[in-house]
């Protein structure tokens, strides 16, 4: 049985809102957990990261992740380990099979770059502004899904042409689009774009396995635009009726024309390669959970 992308992503995306301190209106079904997903908050040696460590534990981010990855069906003897850890850098490349990590240094960077108040972008006129909540949540969400995707590629031996991190970025953008509420999709995508755009201002690290930050920014926007031109058309100058003049951060027309095809390619690959590893009954249980909107 082929499952829809929306239902697939619900299993992965629901845990994300915990980072935004959102509370479930309908709690997860009792006993919903994936015993093959192990979690760990590694206590940082750097005292500066202890407040981040404490906040993440208090919000039970990884515990909720473990619940909502319940539909993933692992082979006998397999497990996925997800950590928050001190890495010595903002990103550490996946090395051990089935073990992935998001770095405290990365979360610290997000908190330092996030705006203190709402930000109105040229591209978002007529839409909600970038909220501080979204600027914090979006990048952490993207990083968590990115790492889970890399782990799934590895464990399920899913073939990837090119760099795994590029493919994981596309999966993350795809999943971010699948929130059931418009506000959630908008805030997570635009929040991620905000962070990547800010990070792109620094000198590019051409040796980074994830690709140049500016390229990651445009890829995220391209998948978003390809999946929903009505909502994200403001990022393409030619589609802005209120101000069609070019602006920093716009998706160039030459790239935008191919974005629907890019989105379809990722969606079809996801359904073909990942959907067979999802339990349909557990997906239905995950789908009954409802989540409130982001905080202002």
Residue range 211-244, pLDDT digits in tens? 666 778 888 889 989 998 888 888 888 888 888 8
Return the pLDDT at 10: 43
Rounded to an integer, what distance in angstroms lies between the CA atom of residue 261 and that of residue 173? 14
Return the pLDDT at 48: 95
Q: Is 164 within 8 Å of 94 (Cβ atoms)?
A: yes
Return the pLDDT at 285: 79
CA 114 to mean position of chain CA atoms: 16
Return the pLDDT at 81: 95
**Is 225 exposed, middle or buried (CB count within 10 Å of its CB: 0-12, 13-18, 19+)?**
buried
Q: Where are the beta strands (DSSP E) in the chain?
A: 37-41, 80-85, 99-103
Q: Is 72 within 8 Å of 33 (Cβ atoms)?
A: no
Strands 37-41 and 99-103: unpaired
User: Domain-by-domain residue ranges, the chain?
Assistant: 5-275
Residue range 3-35, pLDDT digits in tens? 444 444 444 444 444 443 444 446 667 778 899
Backbone angles phi, psi at 167, to 5 degrees: -65, -40
User: Along the 296 residues of the chain, how does pLDDT read in single tens digits?
Assistant: 344 444 444 444 444 444 434 444 466 677 788 999 999 999 999 999 999 999 999 988 888 888 878 889 998 899 999 999 999 988 887 767 889 999 999 899 888 877 777 777 777 777 767 777 767 777 787 888 889 999 999 999 998 888 888 899 899 888 778 654 455 566 677 777 666 666 555 666 656 656 666 778 888 889 989 998 888 888 888 888 888 887 777 888 999 999 999 999 999 998 999 889 989 888 777 766 653 344 55
Contacts of 203 (CB under 8 A, 6+ apart): none
Q: In residues, how long is the chain?
A: 296
Other residues' Cβ atoms within 10 Å of the Cβ of residue 161:
6
Run of H or E residues at 142: helix 132-155
Other residues' Cβ atoms within 10 Å of the Cβ of residue 152:
22
Return the pLDDT at 63: 86
Return the pLDDT at 295: 53
């Amino acid at each position: 049985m082929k499952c829809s992308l929306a239902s697939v992503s619900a299993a992965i995306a629901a845990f994300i809102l915990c980072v935004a301190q959102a509370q479930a209106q309908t709690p997860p079904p009792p006993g919903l957990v994936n015993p093959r997903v192990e979690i760990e908050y590694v206590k940082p040696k750097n005292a500066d990261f202890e407040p981040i460590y404490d906040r993440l534990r208090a919000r039970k981010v990884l515990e909720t992740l473990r619940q909502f990855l319940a539909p993933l069906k692992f082979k006998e003897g397999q497990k996925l380990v997800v950590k928050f850890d001190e890495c010595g850098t903002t990103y550490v490349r996946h090395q051990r099979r089935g073990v992935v990590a998001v770095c405290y240094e990365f979360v610290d960077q997000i908190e330092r770059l996030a705006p203190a108040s709402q930000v109105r972008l040229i591209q978002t006129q007529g839409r909600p502004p970038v909220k501080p909540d979204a600027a914090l949540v979006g990048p952490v969400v993207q990083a968590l899904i990115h790492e889970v995707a890399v782990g799934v590629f590895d464990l399920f031996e899913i073939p990837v042409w090119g760099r795994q991190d590029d493919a994981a970025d596309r999966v993350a953008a795809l999943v971010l689009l699948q929130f059931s509420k418009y506000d959630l999709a908008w805030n997570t995508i635009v929040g991620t774009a905000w962070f990547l755009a800010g990070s792109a201002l620094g000198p590019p690290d051409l040796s980074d396995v994830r690709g140049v930050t500016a390229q990651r920014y445009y890829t995220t926007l391209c998948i978003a635009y390809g999946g929903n031109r009505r909502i994200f058309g403001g990022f393409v100058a030619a589609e802005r009726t209120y101000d069609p003049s070019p602006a920093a951060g716009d998706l160039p027309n030459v790239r935008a024309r191919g974005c629907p095809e890019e989105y379809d390619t990722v969606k079809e690959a996801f359904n073909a390669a990942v959907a067979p590893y999802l339990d349909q009954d557990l997906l239905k249980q995950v789908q009954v959970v409802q989540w409130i909107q982001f905080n202002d």
